[in-house]
């Protein structure tokens, strides 16, 4: 009888009276406050994920088939929002660290499979116009379809292609290209680029560029900072503004572009596995990329459910390099003409 007594004593020491392992309670037995503090999200959001992912997570071919979808989702949320496989969390759920890791892998892949469902540009004219109107309401910048930026996420040194993931600060990372709308909803997320690539090169090679040059709307543009080249569909700030119109343009550009910077900060605030406070992501570049994308999907779903991520308390900056870049000079005469027309029409 000594073993079960020891287990009970440890349970009381770790959690106090009234807390039970997950195999002894159901979601409805605990408060939203407990779920938010432990797993980052309230009950109804977790129920939605169970409905969304349950069939996938219950597939009989999975090694973790004995672990319920609900438990798998809680394990993954716990990792995404805390950044660690804490012994306490595994104990609270009644599963081992190895099982926790498998749960994270299963839920991550299930979310990645649904990325295009939740991360995409609008297609119907009414929604596109609403997108532009929302941006225009921020600082008077017309025609904006999204704001774009890159952010680095630190990863462990991969076994192969090591140098391609070493960034300018000598750290291993993935350089992630993101676009969001005026509410912070992600419209595009490419999370797989090696950290050695500068932002301008990432955009040049990205699927986003192909989309805008061959498929998407011709009557609007993205806003990007000076790490990108001016394009017909990507407006960048003027390097040295001289006229009042140019100053007004740059001010409106900066105020509007700030939305993506704010969005990236809040994603890292909610998903602490990305912010570097618990160290680098201890996975291969491919698996790390999928974890980042899964967090992006959850970010958009949380906004769909009215969870205001911008109200989260701010955290310190992620332990990653800030991109250092030289002013990019465009040689695209048509892009220069479009920006000049924008200056004359809306800022003069």
In this model, does residue 49 exceed pLDDT 90? yes
Q: What angle do CA 336, 195, 320 make, to 5 degrees?
A: 100
pTM assigned to the model? 0.86
Name 166's bridge partners: 172
Burial string for 108-142 (b: 16+ CB within 10 Å, else e) reads bbbbbeebeebbebeeeeeebeebbeebbebbebe
| 153: enclosing H helix or E strand | strand 144-154
Q: Per residue in 12-26, pLDDT tens? A: 333 333 333 444 446
The better pLDDT of the pair 64, 199 is held by: 199
Lowest average pLDDT, out of 22-26, 286-290, 300-304, goes to: 22-26
Q: Per residue in 61-95, pLDDT tens? A: 555 447 889 989 999 999 999 887 655 566 666 77
The alpha carbon dihedral of 163, 166, 171, 176 has a sign of negative
pLDDT the model gives residue 337: 93
Q: At what angle do helices 125-139 and 244-270 cross, to 10 degrees?
A: 110
pLDDT band with cut points at 50, 70 and 90 for residue 328: low
- Lookup: tokens for 20: 């039970």
Average pLDDT taken over every residue of the chain: 84
Neighbour-count burial of 213, counting CB atoms closer than 10 A to its CB (0-12 exposed, 13-18 middle, 19+ buried): exposed
Q: Per residue in 137-158, pLDDT tens? A: 999 999 999 999 999 999 999 8
pLDDT band with cut points at 50, 70 and 90 for residue 173: very high
36 neighbors 293 (Cβ within 8 angstroms): no
In this model, does residue 175 exceed pLDDT 50? yes
pLDDT the model gives residue 218: 67
**Mean pLDDT, residues 22-39:** 75
In this model, does residue 4 exceed pLDDT 60? no
CA distance 99 to 297: 23
Beta-carbon contacts of residue 36 (< 8 Å; ≥ 6 apart): 42
**Mean pLDDT, residues 277-299:** 92
pLDDT the model gives residue 60: 63
What secondary structure, in 3-state letters, does 115-134 show? HHHHCCCCCCHHHHHHHHHH
Neighbour-count burial of 216, counting CB atoms closer than 10 A to its CB (0-12 exposed, 13-18 middle, 19+ buried): middle
pLDDT band with cut points at 50, 70 and 90 for residue 249: very high
In this model, does residue 9 exceed pLDDT 50? no
Q: Per residue in 90-116, pLDDT tens? A: 666 677 788 888 999 999 999 999 999
List, in sequence order, every beta strand (DSSP E) within the chain: 144-154, 173-180, 186-194, 221-223, 234-235
CA distance 299 to 317: 19
pLDDT the model gives residue 27: 77
Concatenating the DSSP letter of every residue in 27-66 gives GGGS-HHHHHHHHSS-HHHHHHHHHHHHHHHT-TTSTTTT
Neighbours of 20 (CB within 10 A): 14
pLDDT band with cut points at 50, 70 and 90 for residue 188: very high
| 148: enclosing H helix or E strand | strand 144-154
3-state secondary structure of 322: coil
Lowest average pLDDT, out of 187-191, 231-235, 313-317, goes to: 313-317
pLDDT band with cut points at 50, 70 and 90 for residue 276: confident
Beta-carbon contacts of residue 194 (< 8 Å; ≥ 6 apart): 161, 164, 165, 174, 175, 285
pLDDT the model gives residue 5: 35
pLDDT the model gives residue 76: 93
In this model, does residue 307 exceed pLDDT 60? yes
């Amino acid at each position: 009888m000594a073993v079960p007594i020891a287990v009970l004593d440890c349970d009381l020491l770790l959690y106090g009276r009234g807390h039970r392992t997950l195999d002894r309670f159901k979601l409805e037995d605990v408060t939203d406050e407990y779920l938010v503090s432990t797993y980052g999200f309230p009950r109804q959001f977790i129920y939605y994920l169970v409905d969304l992912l349950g069939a996938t997570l219950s597939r009989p071919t999975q090694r973790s088939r004995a672990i319920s979808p609900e438990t798998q989702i809680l394990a993954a949320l716990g990792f995404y929002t805390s950044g660690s496989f804490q012994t306490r969390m595994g104990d609270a759920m009644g599963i081992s660290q190895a099982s926790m890791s498998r749960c994270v892998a299963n839920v991550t892949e299930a979310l990645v499979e649904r990325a295009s469902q939740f991360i995409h540009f609008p297609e119907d004219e009414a929604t596109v116009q609403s997108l532009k109107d929302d941006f225009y309401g921020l600082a008077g910048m017309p025609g904006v379809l999204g704001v774009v930026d890159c952010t680095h996420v630190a990863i462990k040194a991969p076994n192969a292609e090591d140098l391609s993931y070493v960034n300018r600060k000598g750290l291993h990372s993935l350089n992630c290209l993101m676009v969001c709308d005026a509410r912070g909803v992600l419209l595009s997320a490419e999370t797989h680029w090696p950290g050695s690539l500068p932002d301008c090169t990432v955009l040049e090679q990205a699927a986003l560029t192909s989309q805008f040059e061959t498929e998407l709307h011709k009557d609007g543009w993205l806003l990007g900072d000076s790490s990108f080249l001016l394009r017909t569909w990507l407006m960048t700030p003027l390097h040295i503004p001289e006229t009042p119109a140019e100053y007004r343009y740059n001010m409106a550009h900066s105020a509007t572009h700030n939305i993506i910077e704010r969005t990236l900060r809040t994603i890292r605030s909610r998903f602490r596995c990305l912010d570097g406070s618990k160290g680098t992501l201890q996975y291969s570049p491919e698996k790390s990329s999928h974890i980042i994308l899964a967090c992006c999907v959850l970010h958009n779903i949380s906004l769909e459910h009215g969870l205001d991520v911008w109200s989260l308390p701010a955290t310190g900056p992620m332990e990653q390099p800030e991109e250092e870049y030289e002013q990019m000079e465009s040689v695209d005469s048509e892009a220069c003409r479009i920006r000049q027309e924008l200056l004359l029409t809306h800022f003069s």
